Amino acid sequence: MISEIIKSRRSVFPIQYNNQPISKEEIQTILQSANWAPTHRKTEPWRFKIFHSETARKQLAEFLGKTYKEIVESPSEFKQKKIEEKPMQSACVIAICMQRDPKESVPEWEEVAATAMAVQNMWLTAHDLKIGAYWSSPALKDHIHKLVDFNEGERCLGFFFMGKYDENLPEGVRKTSVEEKTTWF
């Protein structure tokens, strides 16, 4: 049942991944789910840059490490190493991008929200496939266009790290109930 998948989905981080590959077919299934996200005026703003092969993930890791060193005033070797490890610990990294509607037929926040809903669909599908995932939005995302081509009006909102995992995920908790967040009229 979808409500159980929603309640049991968790962030699973690259350090937790077990080095098992994710097939191209599994990635395609995840992306197909993303493509069914709600979208106002059918702008379908989500775009994805896939780093799947070891070579592509290594290229991403090196780029992120190099960029970190260039943009941070006093870079930490430890932090740079962690930045470079994440893509290599992952079986796939997806740059989550948004293509702004050139007509600006909807407010930009609606296109960001639609892209976030696409990512939620990806996350739920990945979880159902027993693939862990985690969305990270480091400042480095604003430089990824130097590594891969972007269209006019396209920008990166973060990285979706994915990998298979062995451990059991913790049970979810919420600080407050939905009743505390709801006003009925």
- Residue 156, Cβ neighbours under 10 Å: how many? 20
10 known ligand binder: yes
- Residue 178, Cβ neighbours under 10 Å: how many? 7
Task: Go through the domains of the chain in sequence order and give each one's CATH number.
Answer: 16-164 (3.40.109.10)
Which pLDDT belongs to residue 37?
98
Task: Provide mean pLDDT across the span 139-151.
Answer: 97
In percent, how much of the chain has pLDDT > 90? 97
155 known ligand binder: no
Instruction: State the Cα–Cα distance between residues 66 and 12, nearest whole angstrom.
Output: 26
11 known ligand binder: yes
137 known ligand binder: yes
CB-facing half-sphere around the CA of 2: CA atoms within 13 A: 4
Burial class (CB in 10 A: 0-12, 13-18, 19+), 145: middle
Let me know: does 96 contact 119? Beta carbons within 8 Å.
Answer: yes
Which pLDDT belongs to residue 24?
98
pTM of the shown model: 0.95
- The tens digit of pLDDT for each residue in 50-97 reads 999 999 999 999 999 999 999 999 999 999 999 999 999 999 999 999
136 known ligand binder: yes
- The tens digit of pLDDT for each residue in 86-132 reads 999 999 999 999 999 999 999 999 999 999 999 999 999 999 999 99
